[in-house]
Each structure stands twice: as C-alpha cells, then as structure tokens.
Amino acid sequence: MADQTVQLTDSAANKSTALPVVTGSLGDPALDIAKLNKETGYFTFDPGFVSTASTRSAITFIDGDKGVLLYRGYPIEQLAKQSSFLEVAYLLINGELPTAAQFGAFDDEVTHHTMMHESLRHFLNGFRYDAHPMAMLCGSVATLSAFYHDTLDIADPEQRRLAALRLIAKMPTLAAAAYRFSIDWPVRYPRNNLEYVTRFLHMMFEVPSEPLQLSPVAAKALDLLFILHADHEQNASTSTVRLVGSTGANPYACVAAGIAALWGPAHGGANEAVLKMLGEIGTADNVSKAVEKAKDKNSGFRLMGFGHRVYKNFDPRATIIREMCHKVLADLGVNDPLLDVAMKLEEVALKDPYFVERKLYPNVDFYSGIIYKALKIPTEMFTVMFAIARTAGWVAHWLEQHNDKDTKIGRPRQIYTGATNRDYVPLDKR
Ligand code: CMC
C-alpha cells in the first residue's frame, strides 16, 4: 500500500500528477496533497474541512456510517459499561488501559493537583455577578498559565505530562467555582478522600452547614456522561487545541482556546440549546410545528441535538445516553415533562423525509441535558460539564501532537475574493 498513488489530471495543461495515498489502521484512505501546490500550482478548497484529514492520530476512531466509536481501539459501549472516566482519561493519554498500580498512581497524582491557587480564587471573584460559567472557565483556564510556570516549557516531556495532569485535575475545581460564583455561594475546596466525579459533585453542591446527601445514581450517571464526552477525534474544539498547539503555545492557552470553540451552539453549546429548545416547544402537542419550522430554511431554526458532521447513521453515544436517561430519571424519581417532548420530537423527526434523507439523527447532546437537569445541574453549566470531560481528549491530542515529528504550524490558505490591485486615493480626492 505504501507506493499507491492516485493520478490527478489537469486536462487544460495536459499534465498528470501522482498523489500518494496515505492509509491508517482503520477508515478511508487519504490523498497526500502536501506538495500539490508546489507541483501543480493548485490549492485545495474544502470549507469546514469536510474532506480533509489534518493529522495522523492513534487516539480515537469513528466510523460515521456504521455508528462506531473507539477510544484507543476499545468500543465506547464496553467502556461505558465497564470503565470509569478517570481510567478512560488514562487510556486516552497513555494508549493502554492501566494496571491497578498504574491507575492508583495516576489517580493519586490527579487527586493531589485538584486545588487552585488562592490568588486564582480571588481572580474569579473579579467577574461580573452574572458572568456565564463558560466565560469564567475559559478565562480561568487561560490564567493557569500565569500560575504554573514550571510546566510552560513544552519541549520538556515531563512538563508536558504534568500540565496535562493538572488540567484534568483542576478543571472540575474551576468549573464548580464558576457555578458557586453564579449563585453567590462560597467555594468548596476539593476533598481528596473522594473519587473524581463525586469530588466534583461535592464541590458543586455541598453547603458549609451540613453534609451532602449524594445519590450514587447521580455520580454513576455523571461518570458515564464524562466517558461518552471524553474524546471525539478531530472535532472543532480538539482541532482548535491542535491548531493553537501547533504554534508552540502553552497547554493552558491551548485548552482555553478549545473551551472557546466548544462553547458554540453547533458544538458543545448544543446541550444547553437543546434544553432551551425543549422548554420553548413546551408540550408534545407542539412538536410537529417545531419540526416544520426546522425544515423551513428561512426560519433560521434547527433542531438542536440533531445531526452530526461524521455520524450519518446513528450516534452510538446518543443510543447509550437515551437508555441511561430513562433509567436515571426513574432511579431519581424525577418526572420531567421535557422528556416526553424529547421523545415525541425524536419520533416525529425520525419519520420525517427531510430528516431521513439528510441522515439527521439525535446526537450525544439530545438527551444529555435532560440528565444534567435531573442531576440539578443548571442549564448554563451544561457546556461546562462537556468541557470537563473533553479536557481528557484535548490534552491527549496535545500530547500526541508534541510527540509527532510531522507537526507543523497549522496555516491554511484561501481563495482570495477581494479587490484586485488598485492605487491609494488621498482623502481629499475621494
Ligand atoms: N435541523 C434541521 N436541519 C438540519 C440540522 C438540524 N439540526 N442539521 C443539519 N440540517 C440540514 C442542513 O440545513 C442541510 O440541509 P441542506 O442539505 O438542505 O442544505 C443538511 O442538513 C446538512 O447540514 P450541514 O449544516 O451541511 O451539516 P454539517 O455537517 O455542516 O453540520 C451540525 C453538522 C452538527 C453542525 C448540524 O447538524 C447542526 O447544526 N446540528 C444542530 C446543532 C447540534 O446539535 N450540534 C451538536 C453536534 S454533536 C456534539 C458536538 O459535536 O459537540
């Protein structure tokens, strides 16, 4: 396969160019176009990178037609059933499942990097009273680079490892602090006798005056959601982390950029948007009207939580979440009318030719918001929850990028459509 090429023929110039074929261990082959411009004078044009592989990666594989998602080769269904978020984070970063000793050491290190510096806590208090927690998270993660100078030398593998670990460890602390700020509650420090997800839930909900009664169902559900959101190959936020990383920027700046990319409603912001949409639809009776509106291109309205750039059959994460959603609501004794709206919406859309023809299925975010709501996590925090989980993927990709000898600064080209060369006209002559 190494010497396979595809001939590109420029009939106008009567010239043929051989493009090398690049293959991975799974998935479609790619054409290596790195020398295309030099050899032919042409660029490629691919808005949204629909047909472009930006890197080699051994972390996550998706088969969008078959609804397959593998982390380091392990099917998401098996990890969801048998693993934990922290073990998945180890797997994504290191490539293999840990032994008990390796996991113990990793857990111990993460646990002992959960505190934030007191100055950072004071810094958070400087936000306006109604700051969105994603704004606070984005700002505070970037600010970590002003605190941890011992991990800014990205040429040092040990500093890179430590930075990655710090980001995984501190993200829940910063996220919970942003939430507590929004409700004017004092920050709770991380309790190191608890495991990752339970520790986060304590930082979110514990009050100083009494112990927190935490449902094991809640911790289990959140752990599962974190596993499902941990990585998704070269999605918009991960590609952002890699693009910023390609410049040699420090890891905190890279991940802050990833958080900014995640915030958009076409990406991680969709879980917040889904719940708002379900609330606006209100009852199952209004579902057909909403579906009609989503089909009308002039309405500017899309069904949030529907569609995916890569999955054109079903999103395997959505299948797992859908099942979990019913179980969590039953176990917690929550009767949420929005679930009825969501189920009706799914039923109507999946039968509608518009959605069938375009292969638009519920994605991971369609049901996650309903679970977060049942766990009493406020809507503005939904994308923050996604960010905590995706940090594992972001740092795994950032580490991989810095071990890849082919890494170059990311610098796409363009098709220029502006004015052609013209002469400056002095102000008094215009
Ligand atoms: N509702 C109605 N129509 C839709 C939707 C939707 N949710 N999604 C896509 N379409 C239509 C779109 O109008 C287009 O129609 P046509 O071919 O007639 O022009 C066709 O389907 C293809 O859409 P696209 O925008 O070219 O597809 P894309 O791959 O560029 O976008 C997407 C993928 C996820 C951004 C898009 O489906 C969308 O906006 N979905 C809603 C937001 C959402 O749920 N995002 C979360 C994605 S999963 C989690 C994550 O990645 O963070």
Which atom of ligand 1 lies nearest, measured to the CA of 48?
30
For this structure, is 130 an active site residue? no
At residue 2, the pLDDT reads 52
Residue type, 258: G
Q: Which residue puts its alpha carbon closest to atom 49 of ligand 1? A: 267
The mean pLDDT values, 10 residues at a time, for the chain of 430 residues are: 85 94 97 94 95 97 95 98 98 98 98 96 94 96 96 96 98 97 93 96 92 89 96 98 98 98 93 92 95 94 92 90 88 87 92 94 89 92 97 98 95 97 97
The answer to whether residue 202 is catalytic is: no
| Residue 36 confidence (pLDDT) | 95
| pLDDT given for residue 355 in this prediction | 94
- Residue 327 has a pLDDT of 87
What is the chain's Cα-based Rg?
24
Per-residue confidence (pLDDT) for residue 336, from 0 to 100 = 84
Query: Which residues sit with their C-beta closer than 6 Å to ligand 1?
Result: 48, 235, 266-268, 270, 294, 302-309, 358, 360, 363-365
First to last CA, the chain: 62
Nearest-angstrom CA–CA distance, 87 and 83: 6
Choosing from 107, 231, 315, 365, the catalytic residue is 365
**Cα-based distances in Å from 344 to 7, 297, 302, 338:** 50, 22, 16, 10
Q: Give residue 211's pLDDT.
A: 87
Tell me whether residue 365 is one of the annotated catalytic residues.
yes
CB 382 within 8 A of CB 369: yes
The candidate with the shortest Cα–Cα distance to 323, out of 77, 89, 85, is 77
> What is the C-alpha separation between 350 and 336, in angstroms, rounded?
22
Q: Is 36 exposed, middle or buried (0-12, 13-18, 19+ CB in 10 A)?
A: middle
Give 312 Cα–ligand 1 centroid separation in angstroms: 11
Question: How far is 199 from 392, CA to CA, in rounded Å?
Answer: 17
Residue position matching structure tokens 């704004």:
135
* pTM of structure: 0.93
| Residues found in the chain | 430
Residue 208 has a pLDDT of: 84
The β-bridge partners of 19 are 6
